[in-house]
Structure 1
């Protein structure tokens, strides 16, 4: 199934797809309302050497760094993320979720202290509480080990708690998931209904759909001819020794079904030919579907160039029955002769003097173009033979 076929199925089963898309829109709106925007506030702190350790550097702690400070920063971050610290911070009024970690790509004992929540004001306040608690917890660690005040590691705030910024990534992910899920389910429902309809149209399970059950029924789209007619030709009140040779088929394209009939009428007995025309009109052509008739009718258009065998009213009767001649509809200034070359096909110049081969149509069909093939000198074989005693007729038709 190509993209064009998928689009046609979606258009044909719009009554399934449209409610699904509306439900998808409602689901996405619900997710938008239920999943709030989260805000993030973050501060950056660093650990500094003790006053005692910076004496050699005139008391400047930024000139004195030790690898042990990074280890201490990692240990402090782990403690701040513990359950005990969570309980202590909650009791101090911290809301939302928080995290302490070594700063990414840090070249020293730098830490990020982050708080996330849905209320920007509460997030900022919580980050301030968290930052103050981190410094307090560092001092408690060292006091528990009876470290002298002059030898205690200190903490400095490099970046204070920042104004909370919205974090929309999670919300967008949920919205995309809801929209994608709804759209996929809508497509699944659409193609499920299509499959059920096709199965109902073809209970034999051969993969081909049967033609319409009635003359005016809309057949499912196949894009390929179907040779089993759904309309039984109307019985006629008379029979002939030479019934017309006909082959009716159905073509369904984009939900529009057209009956196509090809025939070859009697060339030698005008009375029989006209009776065959009556049988065509009473049988295969007796339908309310758009219809295309193709064939060698052996009835000269307008009587031009007619011979005793082609001087009949078959063509006129079909026009009177509502059919349109694709050639005159698109090439009315060109006679469009199609008959006939010499029986041995060796005549050096064309002998086409009458038009007896046709593309006729009736109903919701429009002729866009018509042409002949095998009528030009360049169509002859290297040995000088014409392709046929008749020129072929081609047409481009549009189903409305």
Structure 2
């Protein structure tokens, strides 16, 4: 059925469609209220190498060590270290340790489009405090894990890579995109159910009407909308009766407007007298 056919069915069964649409609005509002609002926060870490580089000798005096700028030593080793940390933070056991067992809060850790040495942390939780607190836990866990990994490799402490917090946990902001998607999906499904139920009710009622007409022998009545005849203006002049062959005014047919008015009989005029004499004279 085309669009206008659907509109005609909905208009014919409005007493079914209108309550269903109102129920759809109520259910959509209920979904929007009951779905919890999620909050998100984020933070950023940067890895830097030691000023003396990756080598250390106890025979070398501290004043003889060549001093360098750590921010000028962003090589591939820092990128590799950042990727190792993302794998550690992505472990389910680590996530359960930080977020809590059975918690709905989640976090992600990645190196972003650059690939390192930056480490981006983002979290989602049901409250702003939980989202911000989880970012702080992940940042602290990253710093401690970096130190533990280097100690496990027996690296000299003077050569440790350090992690510095560039961006502290940001103020958590509400995410309503998820709620809007839930409401949109629920609205579409409920509207489709409304149309389907209206068509089903229309089909059942038409079948019952046809069965009743078959039992009583009546002609089936069509419920298809037909244009109403134009109303007759009250100020329209009354139609003058036309005389028939007998000189009498013809009566208006049944159902003609102004048929209730009184009919006036007009006698036929007499023929004029001829100028020449006839046999009767």
Alignment map for 1:201-220 (pairs within 5 Å):
201-202=209-210, 211-212=220-221, 219-220=222-223
Aligned to 1:303: 241
- Asked if structure 1 preserves the Cα contact closer than 8 Å seen for 2:252 and 2:259, the reply is no
Shift of the alpha carbon at 1:68?
2.3
- Asked if structure 2 preserves the Cα contact closer than 8 Å seen for 1:54 and 1:61, the reply is no
TM-score of the two chains, using structure 1 as the length reference: 0.53
Aligned to 1:15: 15
Alignment map for 1:177-216 (pairs within 5 Å):
177-202=185-210, 211-212=220-221
Shift of the alpha carbon at 1:195?
2.4
Describe the shift of the 1:109–1:315 C-alpha distance in structure 2 as closer, same or farther (beyond 3 A).
same
Q: Residue deviations 1:71-106, cap 9 Å, x none? A: 2211210111102312432469x9711111112x22
Shift of the alpha carbon at 1:58?
3.8
The SS at the match of 1:65 is coil
More helix by share: 2
Task: Give the number of the structure with larger relative contact order, counting CA–CA contacts within 8 Å between residues 6 or more apart.
Answer: 2
Aligned to 1:270: none
Q: Distance in 2 between matches of 1:95 and 1:161?
A: 19
- Residue 167 (1) aligns with residue 175 (2): yes
What 5-or-longer segments of structure 1 have no aligned partner? Answer: 204-209, 213-218, 222-251, 259-289, 292-300, 323-400
More strand by share: 1
What 5-or-longer segments of structure 2 have no aligned partner? Answer: 56-64, 212-218, 232-238, 261-281
- Residue 26 (1) aligns with residue 26 (2): yes
Aligned to 1:96: 105
Q: Residue deviations 1:97-130, cap 9 Å, x none? A: 1111112x22632111111101101211221121
Q: Give 2:152's match in structure 1, choosing from 140, 144, 148.
A: 144
- Asked if structure 1 preserves the Cα contact closer than 8 Å seen for 2:82 and 2:116, the reply is no
Shift of the alpha carbon at 1:194?
1.9
Aligned to 2:72: 63
Q: Give 2:86's match in structure 1, choosing from 48, 63, 77.
A: 77
- Asked if structure 2 preserves the Cα contact closer than 8 Å seen for 1:57 and 1:63, the reply is no
- Residue 51 (1) aligns with residue 67 (2): no
- Asked if structure 2 preserves the Cα contact closer than 8 Å seen for 1:124 and 1:163, the reply is yes
Describe the shift of the 1:321–1:200 C-alpha distance in structure 2 as closer, same or farther (beyond 3 A).
farther
- Asked if structure 2 preserves the Cα contact closer than 8 Å seen for 1:28 and 1:179, the reply is yes
When the two chains are superposed, the root-mean-square deviation of aligned CA atoms in Å is 3.3
The SS at the match of 2:50 is coil
Between 1:188-197 and 1:167-176, the stretch displaced more is 188-197
